């Protein structure tokens, strides 16, 4: 009973496109596990299937002993998540976003107040707690998403490219916090990234994913050994035949602009 | 319970904060009240039907409610585009409860909007037969609001984005409003229209409001309430059925 996430032959097709292609892996309880892969590799799609937001086209998943398709509510009680895409309510204040999250995740109200304060201070947003999220910069929103995601103490925490767009200092700060959580509370951490050094430094095991397939899985050392290389970057290159491609523009931005015009 | 409450509260906060939305959505009912209420008053009176403004006001109250509630229900689409929907869908709360929280919130907002329009129509000369009856009338307004918020949620669960919004407004919401007896009496209509009006749930809502507010009615308060409540339950069920199927 040491495996907390079990994935067998998982596949997700979006009409015509196979985003996740026959993927199998396990994550052990208390482990820090990473998906490393370029944009469009299928990382977020996999996380969405693990967290009950998307139905798999085929394959089996067990998260904390339950199947997300048939027992979504049981699975939802076991994890916390920081999404890659924005998920804040911009018409509410930072504090209100924390508050809703706390209530939805059954955080007792005294803990909620104290923990929200602690986390907002941690991400340097305490002085802005009563400001509307729509007044925040991209980086501030990202920090708030992370603070909110850490508000309750789940068994598993999913972090989908959590540090995207943050400066290196904030990044280190947040990873230190996540590591502490893993060490002291035994929280299982599942994160995705397309930063080599992040996967290398933080994760105990890494799955390299490209075009919807897991190409290799193991510790950073395993992967280097397997490919006879000296760095994770070279190992990645040897395994996928390419370097990691850079960030594209977020297509949701257009929709957001339209919405703003609509509301005015 | 607390989770449903916090989702309800969210809608109320957002509504009370968007002053432009409150004022903006009063434009249309005001226009109808002034243009039709004053414009057609003399024709209506000559036909021996009494004050048209009195007749029209319950219809206009209902109009503001259905527009606001369909829109509130359809806010699922914005929450999806903005991402907040994910935050609720991944949380340990059943989808049914999320839908209930949202729908109660949207319906409360729509009812508040209806109450504002009711007071505005008083300013323009609307006179209910009994002031006390405004209380059960608000109850009916809330049921109408629940019904159409659920309908909005159902539509939003089936649509990916706001592209279909104008289609829905022009080919569903407008006809529901116009063929409900909101602006004309139900006596002496052509057969086809009678049938259309009779299958339109809003007709029963407006009828109930008229019975309570101006003591003029067609179907009777009992029938109105039964039809309204049953259709509301069906739409709540349909709304949650489709809401449960949303994938992000
Ligand atoms: N809802 C969707 N409909 C259609 N295609 C999608 C959808 N979501 C993701 N995809 C596609 O699936 C592939 C994998 O996407 P994603 O899982 O987001 O990749 P990653 O998170 O690794 O960057 C991409 O080609 C993407 O365009
Ligand atoms: Mg992604």
Atom of ligand 1 nearest to the CA of A54: 1
Is the CB of A19 within 6 Å of ligand 1?
yes
Q: Closest residue (by CA) to atom 7 of ligand 1?
A: A14
Nearest residue to B69 (alpha-carbon basis) of B104, B31, B29, B30: B104
Give the Cβ contact number of residue B96 at 10 Å.
16
Asked whether residue A194 is assigned to any structural domain, the reply reads: yes
Range of the domain at A121: 88-153
Q: ipTM score of the complex?
A: 0.91
For position A245, what pLDDT does the model report? 60
pTM of the model: 0.91
Rounded CA separation B129/B126 (Å): 10
Task: Tell me the CA–centroid distance for residue A225 and ligand 2, in Å.
Answer: 28
Q: Are residues A66 and A96 in the same domain?
A: no
Nearest residue to A262 (alpha-carbon basis) of B111, B107, B16, B20: B20
Span A75-116, pLDDT tens digits = 999 999 999 999 999 999 999 999 999 999 999 999 999 999
Rounded CA separation A208/A191 (Å): 12
DSSP, collapsed to helix, strand or coil, labels residue A36 as strand
On the question of pLDDT at A248 being above 70, the answer is: no
For position A263, what pLDDT does the model report? 46
Q: What's the helix, strand, coil split of chain A in %, to 5?
A: 40, 25, 35
Asked whether residue A69 is assigned to any structural domain, the reply reads: yes
Among A136, A153, A170, give the residue marking a domain's end.
Answer: A153
**Is B24 in the A-facing interface, judged by CB distances under 8 Å?**
no
Rounded CA separation A47/A189 (Å): 12
Rounded CA separation B109/B14 (Å): 10
Q: Are residues A61 and A127 in the same domain?
A: no
Among A121, A153, A185, give the residue marking a domain's end.
Answer: A153
Q: How far is A25 from chain B (nearest CA, A)?
A: 22
Asked whether residue A83 is assigned to any structural domain, the reply reads: no
Alpha carbons within 13 angstroms on the beta-carbon side of residue B234 total 7
Q: How far is A256 from chain B (nearest CA, A)?
A: 7
Among A106, A124, A153, give the residue marking a domain's end.
Answer: A153
Sites in chain B below the pLDDT cut of 50: none
Closest partner residue to A53 (CB to CB) among B2, B17, B247 is B247
Residues of chain A in contact with residue B161, where contact means CB-CB under 8 angstroms, are 255
CATH number of the CATH domain containing A12: 3.40.50.300
Nearest residue to B226 (alpha-carbon basis) of B245, B207, B248, B246: B207
For position B148, what pLDDT does the model report? 97
DSSP assignment string, chain B: -HHHHHHHHHHHHHHHH-HHHHHHTTHHHHHHIIIIIIHTHHHHHHTT---HHHHHHHHHHHHHHHHHHHHHHHHHHHHHHHSHHHHHHTSSS-HHHHHHHHHHHHHHHHHHHHHHHHHHHHHTT---S-STTHHHHHHHHHHHHHHHHHHHHHHHHH-SSGGGHHHHIIIIIHHHHHTTTSSS-STT--HHHHHHHHH-HHHHHHHHHHHHHHS--SS-HHHHHHHHHHHHHHHHHHHHHHHHT---
Residue scoring higher pLDDT (A247 or A48): A48
Q: Are residues A92 and A65 in the same domain?
A: no
For residues A64 and A2, is the Cβ–Cβ distance under 8 A?
Answer: no
Q: Are residues A52 and A167 in the same domain?
A: yes
Question: How many structural domains comprise chain B?
Answer: 1
Q: Are residues A204 and A251 in the same domain?
A: yes
Q: Are residues A183 and A147 in the same domain?
A: no
Closest partner residue to B92 (CB to CB) among A73, A87, A259 is A73
The angle that helices B95-123 and B52-82 make with each other, rounded to 10 degrees, is: 150
DSSP assignment string, A185-209: T--EEEEEES-HHHHHHH-SEEEEE
Span A143-182, pLDDT tens digits = 999 999 999 999 999 999 999 889 999 999 999 999 999 9
């Amino acid at each position: 009973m040491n495996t907390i996430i079990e994935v067998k032959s998982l596949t997700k097709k979006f009409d015509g496109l196979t985003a996740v292609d026959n993927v199998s892996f396990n994550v052990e309880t208390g482990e820090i596990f990473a998906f490393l892969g370029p944009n469009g590799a299928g990382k977020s799609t996999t996380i969405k299937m693990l967290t009950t937001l998307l139905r798999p086209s085929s394959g089996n998943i067990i998260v904390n002993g339950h199947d997300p398709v048939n027992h979504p509510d049981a699975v939802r009680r076991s994890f916390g998540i920081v999404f890659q895409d924005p998920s804040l309510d911009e018409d509410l204040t930072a504090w209100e976003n924390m508050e809703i999250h706390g209530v939805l995740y059954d955080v007792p109200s005294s803990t909620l107040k104290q923990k929200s304060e602690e986390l907002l201070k941690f991400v340097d947003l305490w002085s802005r707690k009563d400001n509307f999220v729509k007044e925040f910069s991209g980086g501030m929103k990202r920090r708030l998403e992370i603070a909110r995601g850490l508000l309750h103490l789940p068994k598993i925490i999913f972090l989908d490219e959590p540090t995207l767009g943050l400066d290196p200092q904030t990044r280190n700060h947040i990873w230190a916090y996540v590591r502490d959580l893993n060490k002291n509370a035994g929280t299982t951490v599942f994160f995705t990234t397309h930063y080599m050094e992040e996967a290398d430094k933080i994760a105990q095991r890494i799955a390299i994913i490209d075009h919807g397939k897991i190409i290799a899985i193991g510790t950073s050392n395993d992967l280097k050994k397997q490919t006879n290389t000296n760095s994770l970057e070279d190992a990645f290159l040897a395994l996928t035949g390419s370097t990691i491609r850079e960030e594209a523009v977020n297509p949701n931005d257009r929709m957001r602009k339209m919405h703003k015009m609509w509301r005015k | 319970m607390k989770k449903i409450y916090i989702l309800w509260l969210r809608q109320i906060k957002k509504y009370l904060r968007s002053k432009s939305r409150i004022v903006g959505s009063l434009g249309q009912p005001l226009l109808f009240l002034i243009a039709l209420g004053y414009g057609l008053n003399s024709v209506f009176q000559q036909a021996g039907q009494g004050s048209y403004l009195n007749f029209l006001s319950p219809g206009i109250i209902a109009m503001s409610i259905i527009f606001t509630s369909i829109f509130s229900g359809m806010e699922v689409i914005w929450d999806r585009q903005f991402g907040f929907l994910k935050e609720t869908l991944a949380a340990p709360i059943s989808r049914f409860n999320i839908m209930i929280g949202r729908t109660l919130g949207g319906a409360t907002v729509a009812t508040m909007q209806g109450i504002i329009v009711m007071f505005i129509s008083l300013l323009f000369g609307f006179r209910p037969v009994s002031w006390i009856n405004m209380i059960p009338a608000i109850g009916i307004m809330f049921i109408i609001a629940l019904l159409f918020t659920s309908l909005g949620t159902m539509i939003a669960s089936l649509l990916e984005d706001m592209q279909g919004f104008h289609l829905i407004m022009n080919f569903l919401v407008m006809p529901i409003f116009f063929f409900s007896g909101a602006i004309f009496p139900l006596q002496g209509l052509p057969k086809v229209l009678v049938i259309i009006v009779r299958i339109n749930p809003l007709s029963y809502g407006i009828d109930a409001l008229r019975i309570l507010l101006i003591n003029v009615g067609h179907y009777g308060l009992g029938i109105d309430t039964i039809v309204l409540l049953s259709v509301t339950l069906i739409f709540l069920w349909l709304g949650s059925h489709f809401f449960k199927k949303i994938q992000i």
